[in-house]
Amino acid sequence: MGPNPDLPPAALRLVVDRDALAANWRALDAMSGAARTGAAVKADAYGIGAKLAVPVLRQAGCRDFFVTYAHEAADIVGLASPGEISLLHGPISDGVAAWARETGVRVVINSLEQAARWLAAGGGRCDLMVDTGINRLGLPLSQLGDPLIARLDVDVLMSHLASADEDVALNVRQCARWEEARRMVPHSRASLANSAGIALGPSYHGDLTRPGLSLYGGVPRPEMQGRIAQVARPMAAVMQVREIEAGEGVGYNATFIAPAPMRVGVVALGYADGFLRCWSGGKGVLLWQGRRLPVLGRVSMDMIDVDLAGAEDVREGDWLEVKYALPEASAASGLSQYELLTLLGDRFAR
């Protein structure tokens, strides 16, 4: 038996605009003023592909990358220096602590228990998360005077904003608590602002900002409108073109009934790919040479139907673009911009 034949191309692909990704980092770096700008590349760079994103961001000038789990860090060791990678969930086990010590990846200490685990493993350069009001990971200010914290060699002292996309008093309170933590704990750099936090101004920038969403095309605040470009463009192939008669139903439960004879395209895209049922009934739109092709009926697991009226030249095997600019797609679907990115499934070739 001969060698296995090469797999044919996938019927779904995610086109990533590398120039837009680099430009978004540079725009956020400029908005960050005197602070350096890092990059959250957790969750496979919010779904666009960390192995694709990290080299682009590093070439643009980024030198700080934030992931959630050790396996995410392992995926990009070699694309970035281990000392440039921070593990946000920290040494959640002795095994993670030992692995980080061996590789040089920085852990983020989130609790006294993690501090003790890190020091028991031999310690070393680390980051420290302080909870200033989001009540997720991080030490409360009341624990920053603990002797364990005094033994840490802290590079980045960080906190995380809960409502930076809104103009609320909590932002000011969190900033003040972060400043208090900066006075309490020796550290090399301080970091508070996520994507939206960058737009809140210099008081929130510290030494290092940590954008995520806006790197990949998200616009969480109006100040960023026009500065952030779309990065991810989902594409799907037409599997079949059908002619249907007036009165025929389309898809499960026949939620769309053809009012007249129609030409319909069956497209390789469904909720198993992250294109959820909220796009049913015309809310979802695909594009062919600038022409809008609305989704007909219900989104299925592996396919959708689109109206090919006005697109008589579409044939089986042609590629359609999903209309997916994040702010507009969020408004149309009710999904957050974060969800829209991270929902895009593994069946998309990136």
Active site residue 252: yes
Q: Which of 69, 204, 216, 252 is catalytic?
A: 252
Strands laid side by side in the 125-129 sheet = 39-40, 65-67, 85-87, 106-109, 125-129, 153-158, 189-191
Q: Which residue has the tokens 């809960």?
A: 162
Task: Tell me the C-alpha distance between 40 and 33, whole Å.
Answer: 18
Do the Cβ atoms of 294 and 270 come closer than 8 Å?
no
Q: Which residue has the tokens 């806006």?
A: 214
Task: Tell me the C-alpha distance between 290 and 82, whole Å.
Answer: 43
How far, CA to CA in Å, does 29 sit from each of 62, 193, 225, 348? 9, 12, 16, 30
How far, CA to CA in Å, does 192 sit from each of 32, 129, 186, 205? 11, 10, 16, 7
DSSP 12-42: EEEEE-HHHHHHHHHHHHHHTTTSEE-EE-H
Q: Which residue has the tokens 């069946």?
A: 347
Active site residue 42: yes
What single DSSP character describes residue 226? T
Task: Tell me the C-alpha distance between 132 and 139, whole Å.
Answer: 9
DSSP 259-285: SS-EEEEEES--GGGT--GGGTTTT-E
Query: Which residues are marked as active site?
Result: 42, 252
